[in-house]
Structures are given as C-alpha cells and as structure tokens.
Amino acid sequence: MPQKEPGTPRPPHHEPAAPPPPQKQPWPGREAGLRPRADHGEESYRGAGKLEGRVALVTGGDSGVGRAIAIAYAREGADVAISYMDEHVDAAETVRWVQKAGQRGVALAGDITDRAHCRSLVEETVRQLGRLDILVNNAAVHFDTAFEDLDPTQLERVFRTNLFAPVWLTQAALAHLPEGGVVLNTGSVTGLQGNATLADYAATKAALHNLTRSLSQALASRGIRVNCVAPGPVWTPLVPATRAQEKVEGFGGDTLWHRPAQPAEIAPSFVFLASQDARFYTGEILAPTGMSVTTR
C-alpha cells in the first residue's frame, strides 16, 4: 500500500458529514464546547522537518486555526510561543501538543488590543525561546451585527484586535526577525467578498490583505517574506460564540464541500508559506475558501 506523503494531514478522523447543529457558547468560546469537536491535526498531521531550529509566535494559538498552526509547526521542528486572551485551559492543551512533539512551547496571556502587550509578547518569546523567526498574526474577533447596529465600542475592539495588533506585533518583531524571517497574516474570505453582518470584520481583513502586500514591498530588502492565508468558513469556537444558534446551524454549507473547513485543513498553508519551499512567495494571499460564497 502506498505511503502518505509526510507533512500533510490525513483526512480528519472526525470530520462532520454535514454543517454543524445549532449551538451557542459564551464569548470568546472554548474548544470543549464545540459539537462536533474540531480537528487540529492532533492525530493526523505528520511533519517533515520543514521548520527545524526555528521559533514561531502564533497569536490566537489557544484554539482553532491557531492551535492547528502551533501543532503543525512543532511537528515540523519549530519551538512555538502562543498568545491568547484568557482561555487558559485551551492554551495549556495547545502547549501540551507542542511539547508532545518534542518542542518547547510557551503560552502568553493578555489583550493584544494593548500596544504595550504586543511588544511584550515579542520580547517574552525571544527571552524564553532565544529568537524569533516566524510571526503569525492569527488572532481575530468578530460579532454578527447588522450594519446599522455597529457601535463605537465594537468597532474599536474589532479594528484594534484584527488590524492594529498585527501592525504593532510586526513592528516589534522587526527588531528580531533575521534575513529569511517570515510574517504571516490570517485574512478571510470576507475580506475578499464582504459580508452583510460582519462588515467591520470584513473591512479589517481586507485591510490586512492590503497590509500584507505593502509590507512585502517594505521588507523585501531585509530578506523578510510577508504572506497571508485567507480561509473560508472554519469550524472554531468563535463561530458559536459570536453567532445566533440558527446561524451556527448550517455554517459552512455554502462551500462546494457543504461544510466548514477543519483547522487541520488550513494549517498546511501556514507551514508551506513559513518554509523554504515558499522562498519565492511574498505579498501573496493564499485563499483556501472551499469556494465559499459568504453573504451573511
């Protein structure tokens, strides 16, 4: 029987056959409350040494796509620091998987809407892990809201989390990233297509796509690559924590696969773009959307 190629996920072992059922969680959501549970590649991702000796900082690494990235990076040979808000149980679980892969894992709590905290995340990563080679600006927030109901508090929270924080983190990281360093941003299909009830979120993601291209031009002379992954719907705790139950039911059903992606299906894009396989890639927006048509 032919062997599977290393460094790629096997089909998720508990992939839902259909979009998820209705459910609700308190914000910002917890992995343990998801029905069905998400697959982060815990049992499926096999590394191939693509990131050996490197150190990564992944924001929002406690759950969802961030956890899947952390697991994949560790299995590719990288030490990983994750940042998170206050989801201590989820963060500890991510670190456990990083350490199980034989790599050093660090969990750093706090609010990235604070510029000083963004600087401290970078400094703590370097202090505890010795260097920084890869910055993944993955953390984000959204709230399902009619446009006319957007208020200043929500608007500021979304922009500070999704756009300002990546700017501050990247600025801080530039003091440490070597030639060959990598900055990766997590965009969204909503930044490509818009969204009727996530207008503020979609605007920040469109801005992040553009920031990716601007930074790629600004940092090329330093040998630093900047790219973006813009997924379609992904099954993470943020979904039931920010949507009404009736909108969770059927989430991802507008893709060609009639379901949301599992985080394990998105992480390989981040591995590729962080590795030497992608050494000619910069300013790119890789969009594993499942051909999602996002209108709500």
Q: Angle 201-151-59 (CA atoms, 0-180°, nearest 5)? A: 35
Exposed/middle/buried for residue 207 (C-beta within 10 Å: 0-12, 13-18, 19+): middle
Length of the chain: 296
Q: Is 201 a catalytic residue?
A: yes
Contact 61, 49 (CB under 8 A): no
**Encoding tokens for residue 224?**
């630093």
Q: Angle 235-236-241 (CA atoms, 0-180°, nearest 5)? A: 120
> Catalytic one among 73, 84, 201, 281?
201
Map residue 118 onto helix, strand or coil.
helix
Helix ranges restricted to H, 220-278: 238-242, 245-248, 263-274
Kind plus residue range of the DSSP H or E element containing 228: strand 225-229
Contact 135, 108 (CB under 8 A): no
Contact 286, 187 (CB under 8 A): no
C-alpha span between 120 and 188 (Å, rounded): 27
**Encoding tokens for residue 96?**
């456990």
**Is cis: bond before 36, omega within 30 of 0?**
yes
C-alpha span between 86 and 102 (Å, rounded): 25
Kindly list the distances between the CA atom of residue 154 and the CA atoms of 140, 160, 261, in Å, as whole numbers in the listed order. Answer: 13, 10, 27
**Encoding tokens for residue 42?**
């815990």
Which of the residues are catalytic? Answer: 201
